[in-house]
Amino acid sequence: MIKHTFMLAPVQQQRPRATHYGRSIRLYDPKAVKQFKQTVAEEAMLTYRHQPLSGSLAVTLVFYRPVQQSLSKVEKQRRIDGRHLPVVKPDLDNYIKSFLDALHGIYWQDDALITDIVASKRYGRQPRIEIEVNEIQEDENA
């Protein structure tokens, strides 16, 4: 099992940018996404020193967004307590995509190994991303 908290604000996956390279086109991540993925990968490599997992995986993710500073104290507390959820952009699936891509080759050989995923988007006093990864024992009798 892998369990870790990344103390950084989640960044959504954005559409790739394109540039012409001779007759071909090269696609690349926007700068903010590239930096986010690099930061996540570096921290993961420092804290997880094992071989990447290679079996079926179950992943649980919680993305904590910062609370807007312009809100009243009462509204900020409602959001931190989970009474008001972040039903705003960016979409949860875009957070998932950028984060899982950053961990490719570190926590797992390929994110295609993830067969089960539970993800949440919440507000928090401190922006962060919590992850738990469990290997799934496949039933040979099924």
Task: Kindly report the pTM of this predicted structure.
Answer: 0.86
Name the residue among 67, 65, 51, 131 with its Cα closest to residue 99.
131
Average pLDDT by consecutive 10-residue portion of the chain (142 residues)? Answer: 96 74 72 93 95 95 92 89 87 94 95 96 95 86 58
DSSP 81-114: TTSS---SSSPHHHHHHHHHHHTBTTTBS-GGGE
pLDDT digits (tens, 9 = 90+) for 97-133: 999 999 999 999 999 999 999 999 999 999 999 999 9
